[in-house]
Amino acid sequence: MNAEPQSTIAAIATPHGTGGIGIVRISGPQAKEVLSRMFLPLSPHFANFRPWVLHRGRILDENGEPLDEVLAVHMPGPRSFTGEDVVEIHCHGGAFLVRAVLESVLRRGVRQAERGEFSRRAFVNGRMDLSQAEAVAEMIAAPSREALRYGLARLDGLLGQRVKALREDLDGLRARVCLSVDFPEEEVPELDAESFCALVDGLILGVRRLLAGSRRAGAMQHGARVVLAGSVNAGKSSLLNALLGRNRALVTDIPGTTRDFLEEACMLDGLPVCLTDTAGLRRDAGIVEQMGVERSREKISEADAVLLVLDGGRLGEAGAAAARCPDAASREVLEAAETCPVLAVWNKSDLGLPAVFPPRWLEKTECCAVSALSGEGVEELAERLRALLLADGREHVPGDGLAPNARQSLELEEALKHLEALRLDVLEGQPHDCCAARLDLAAGHLEAVTGLSSAEQVLNSIFEQFCIGK
C-alpha cells in the first residue's frame, strides 16, 4: 500500500473462476496508452477511444497475437472511480483467458494492484471519503437486502455529510473559544456557561443520533442473534418451529425437554437472523438440565434481542396470577437482558388471554400474543421482531437513518466521551483553554470517521480487507 500514486496498476475486477464475462481494470496515467498498444479495433471507422463508450475489438498479447474478442472502455480522470484515467477490458470469462489478458497488461509496464488499491486511490484523490470506501467493501460482502440498502446510503455519502456538518458546528465552537483565549484584550465576548452547554448539547445529540444505528449495523452485516427464553414448557421450541415454518426442535409436553440450546438461521423479510431455542429457566433442574440452563443465561447475555416466551396455558391453572406478576424465570430473563431489547410473547393464546393484556408488569416491554400451535399471530410477531432489531436503540434517541460500522462507531463513541467530559468542565468553571483541548480531541475522532485524520496504519488495515480488484 506504500506505492506511489503515479504508477499505473491493474487487476482482475470479477470473481475468480469461470463466468460469462471477465473484466480487467487498469488505473493510472498510462492506462489509455497501454490499452491502445494492445487493442485492435474491429470497426474501420475507429479513430480513438471515445470516453465512456464501449469499443469492440481484439486484445493482443505481448507478441501481438490475439487473445480474445473484447469490449474496451476508457474513463478519463478525474470523473472516474479512482479519479485517474481508468480503462476496462471486458473479455470472455474463462479463468485462464482472464489471467492471460491481465498478464499481457502487466508485461507492458503496469503493476499488479494490491488489495483495495483502486478504492484507496479514490479516497486519496478525493473521489470518496473513508466511510464511503468502507461502504464499497460492505456492499460486496452484504448478506441481506437491508445491509445493501444501508451500505448504499453510506456509499452516497450520507454518513460523511452528517459527520461533516457536526464537525463544522464543532469547528465554529472551537473558533469562538480560541478567539476568547488568544485575544482577551480585544474584548471578545466570552461564552457564558449556559450558552456554552447549549452548543455542546447540540453536538452531543448529533453524535448520539448517529450512534443510535450502530447496533443495527451489526445485525445487518453479520445477522441478528435472537434468543427464545422463559420458563419450562412455555412453548419456546414450538414457537421456534412456527417461526422457521418447519419442525426443527423436539416438542413434548414433558417440562425440560430442551436441555441445550438449538440454533437455526432464517430471514425476516431480508434481515438475516439466528434464532436460538434455549432450555427453560428453573432452579430445581437436574445436573444435566442445569448445565443447559447456564448456557441459556450465556446466550441471553450475548443476544441482540430476546423473545421472552410466556406460558399462556397457566391461566387455566393459576387464574390470573401469571398476568398480575412475573414468575421467577421471567424476572431472570428481564434482568439478564438488560442491555438488549426484549419482546414478550404470550404464547398459547388459543387457550385464552388475561383480562388485562398486556399484563401490567410488562408495561415497559413490547408484548404480543401468539399461538405457536395454530400459527395465529406468528406473522405479526416476525414483523415486530424485525422492527425491534432495526430500531435506533433503547435510549429513544431519534436516529439519522444510518448505521455506522464498528470502526466508525468506536470513533463516534470516543468523540461523545470528550464532548460529555467537556460539558462537565464547562459546568465546573474550567478555563476555556482546557475546554479547547477537549474540542480538539472530539474533532479528531469525528475526522477519523471520514478519514481526514486517520493514521497510515489505520488506512492500511481497512483497505487490506478489500478484494484485489477493488
Q: Each residue of 272-291: pLDDT tens digit? A: 888 888 876 655 555 545 66
CA neighbours closer than 13 Å in the CB half-sphere of residue 142: 19
Those residues with Cβ within 8 angstroms of residue 19's Cβ, 6 or more apart along the chain or in another chain = 93
- φ/ψ of 402, rounded to 5, equals -120, 160
Beta-strand runs (E) in 170-277: 224-230, 262-268, 271-277
Across the range 213-231, mean pLDDT stands at 76
* Each residue's pLDDT tens digit, 386-405: 888 877 555 545 555 577 88
Q: Give me the DSSP letters along 309-370.
A: EEEGGGHHHHTTHHHHS--HHHHHHHHHTTTS-EEEEEE-GGG---SSSS-GGGTTSEEEE-
Please spell the DSSP secondary structure of 8-27, one letter per residue.
-EEEE-S-SS-EEEEEEEEE
Cα distances from 206 to residues 165, 202, 286, 437, in angstroms, run 9, 6, 51, 20
Please name the residues in contact with 377: beta carbons below 8 A apart, sequence gap of 6 or more: 349, 368, 369, 370, 371
How many angstroms separate the CA atoms of 443 and 214, rounded? 20
The CATH number corresponding to 225-389 among 2.60.40.1890, 1.10.3720.10, 3.40.50.300, 3.60.110.10 equals 3.40.50.300
What pLDDT shows up at residue 7? 92
Q: What is the mean predicted confidence (pLDDT) over 374-383?
A: 87
Is the domain 9-129 a CATH 1.20.1090.10 member?
no
* Higher per-residue pLDDT: 136 or 459: 136
pLDDT number for residue 462: 66
Among the residue ranges 111-125, 159-173, 188-202, the one predicted with the least confidence is 188-202
- Residue 190 is predicted with a pLDDT of 65
CB-based contacts of 213, cutoff 8 Å, min separation 6? 150, 392, 393, 399, 400, 401, 402, 403, 404
Question: So what's the pLDDT on residue 282?
Answer: 53
pLDDT at residue 319 in the model:
43
Distance CA 240, CA 9 (A): 51
pLDDT tens digits, one per residue of 51-93: 999 999 999 998 999 999 999 999 999 999 999 999 999 999 9
The answer to whether the pTM exceeds 0.75 is no
Residue 442: its pLDDT value, please?
92
Question: Rounded to 5 degrees, what are φ and ψ at 398?
Answer: -60, 130
| H, E, C per residue of 259-323 | CCCEEEEEEECCEEEEEEECCCCCCCCCHHHHHHHHHHHHHHHHCCEEEEEEEHHHHHHHCCHHH
Please report, for the chain, the start and end positions of each structural domain, with discontinuous segments joined by +.
9-129, 145-213+402-451, 225-389
Report the pLDDT value the prediction gives residue 259, as an integer from 0 to 100: 45
Which amino acid is residue 217, in one-letter code?
Answer: A
Q: State how far the Cα of 398 lies from the Cα of 452, in Å rounded to an integer.
A: 27
Q: Specify whether the CB–CB gap between 82 and 127 falls below 8 A.
A: yes
- For residue 358, whether the previous peptide bond is cis, meaning omega lies within 30 degrees of 0, is yes
Given CA atoms 28, 33, 34, 36 in this order, what sign does their dihedral have?
Answer: positive
Name the most confidently modeled range: 14-23, 214-223, 294-303.
14-23
Closest CA to 412 of 422, 424, 404: 404
Residue pointed to by grid coordinates 448478506: 143
Residue 401 pLDDT: 59
The residue assigned the cell 460486496 is: 140
pLDDT at position 458 is 58
The b/e string for 29-48 (b: 16+ C-beta within 10 A; e otherwise) is ebbbebbeebbebeeeeeee
Q: Does domain 145-213+402-451 have CATH number 1.20.120.430?
A: yes
